[in-house]
Amino acid sequence: MWGKESGRHAVEKPSPLGRRWDRHSCLSLRLAHGAPPRRQECLRHFISRSVTGEGLFAVMVLACLFAASPLPAASLYDQSVSRLLSERYTSGDLSYILVDAATRRLIASRWDSIAEPVPVGSLVKPFLALAYAQKHDFRYPTYFCRGVRDGCWLPRGHGQVNISSAIAYSCNAYFMNIVSTLTPEDVESMAQRSGFSIGQAPFGAAEMIGLGGSWRIDPRELLYAYILLAAAPRAGGAAELLRGMTLSAKIGTAEGVGFHLHGAAALAKTGTAPCIHQPRAPGDGYVLMLYPADQPRLALLVRVHGAPGAQAARLGGRMLNTVIRLE
């Protein structure tokens, strides 16, 4: 297996635990109606719940979504971004999907069979963490990763890890430990709440954390699920995950993203998954980025054929920087 990262650890204190993940967000409307809700419809839904604490939280989420400074309108802007990316990034090994995080508008893409679910490796980890948080009173454990002995990809191990550093360094041992308490039904209901379907729920710790490629997710649904996660920083268990993604883009497995953004903060997560292309490669690298880290406007998913996730992060960071400079 590829080594992804050999960086330092950041020791973070777990933050105070927030409210539970809002089951009655716009997402439930989207699931119920099978299509993204219109904003007014969504707003009515939120306001109708606003007399409760849960509703208040929902309004805060909505405020975040509406407060995000908008991107330029479609058409001309999208055409420029689309043209620039296709001219500058010509490799046939590269696939990408760029979405406006506030409206979910597809800005640019190069992705064969975009509606087909793909294995995404460790990109599932933040959602497994949410499933764990739901079940354990929104408290995450700390864990000591001893590397190969604990089934981690980093031979010497990550040492002491908490949830944020486990996300930042994509520690397999940490996640195998937490998913050992989850059932396939827990994973299934987390996926439903997050708005993506997983086909047959993965079984066993290694499969659950994305090893072996048994998870297959529609890449756009995965992007939307990350957008939803980033829009609800106060939801139970989410803040720790977003901190981990910020850390990942700075000094973790996705440090290539931070390198190309010259200090600007982004949220990022890498994944390495079995290749599904011909000719077959040892694996495909993924990186999912949200920019800026506070109230993201852009969501970009990049896949590089025959490369580990850390390498996808370097290319992804360069692409994201190209898009930002055009804004």
Going by their DSSP bridges, the two strands 267-273 and 284-291 should be labelled as antiparallel
- Provide the angle, in degrees to the nearest 10, between the axes of the packed helices 39-48 and 53-67: 150
Q: State yes or no: residue 211 binds Zn ion (CB under 5 A).
A: no
Of these, 9, 45, 125, 158, which contacts Zn ion (CB under 5 A)? 158
Q: Which region, judged by CB under 5 A, interacts with Zn ion, from 91-99, 155-163, 214-222, 238-246?
A: 155-163
Spatial distance between the Cα atoms of 267 and 296, rounded to a whole number of angstroms: 9
The span of 120-128, 168-176, 231-239, 270-278 binding Zn ion (CB under 5 A) equals 168-176
In the complex with Zn ion, the residue whose CB is nearer, 74 or 148, is 148
Q: How far apart are CA 320 and CA 327, in angstroms?
A: 11
- The label of the residue with tokens 């827990």 reads 186
The answer to whether 270 touches 43, Cβ cutoff 8 Å, is no
Smallest separation (angstroms) from Zn ion to the CB of 8: 14
145 part of the interface to Zn ion, by CB under 5 A: yes
Only one of the segments 14-22, 55-63, 97-105, 157-165 lies at the binding site for Zn ion (rule: CB under 5 A); that segment is 157-165
Q: Strand, helix or coil at 96?
A: strand
Question: Minimum Å distance from CB 70 to Zn ion?
Answer: 40
Burial class (CB in 10 A: 0-12, 13-18, 19+), 14: middle
If the CB atoms of residues 128 and 171 are measured against Zn ion, the closer one turns out to be 171
Question: Binding segment for Zn ion among 79-87, 165-173, 234-242, 273-281 (CB under 5 A)?
Answer: 165-173
Query: Among residues 70 and 155, whose Cβ is nearest to Zn ion?
Result: 155
* 9 lies in the site for Zn ion, by CB under 5 A: no
| Of 158 and 220, CB closest to Zn ion | 158
Contact status: 133 vs Zn ion (CB under 5 A): no
Interface with Zn ion includes 4 (CB under 5 A)?
A: no
Candidates 25-33, 137-145, 200-208, 304-312: pick the segment binding Zn ion (CB under 5 A): 137-145
Output Rg (C-alpha) for the chain, integer angstroms. Answer: 18
Which residues, in sequence order, are bridge partners of residue 304? 94, 285
The Cα–Cα gap between 131 and 236 comes to 11
Minimum CB–partner distance for residue 220 and Zn ion (Å): 30
Q: Considering only residues 58, 68, 107, 152, which one is a binding residue for Zn ion as defined by CB under 5 A? A: 152
Using CB under 5 A as the binding rule, whether residue 171 contacts Zn ion is answered as: yes
CB 291 within 8 A of CB 324: yes
Interacting residue with Zn ion among 173, 176, 211, 235 (CB under 5 A): 173
Cα(155)–Cα(141) distance, rounded to whole angstroms?
22
Choose the stretch contacting Zn ion; rule: CB under 5 A; options: 17-25, 126-134, 169-177, 286-294.
Answer: 169-177
How near is the Cβ of 63 to Zn ion at its closest, in Å?
37
Residue count at the site for Zn ion (CB under 5 A)? 5
Q: Are the beta carbons of 24 and 32 closer than 8 angstroms?
A: no
- Within 8 A by CB and 6+ apart from 297, the residues are 68, 69, 70, 71, 100, 101, 102, 291
- Contacts with Zn ion by CB under 5 A lie at 145, 152, 158, 171, 173
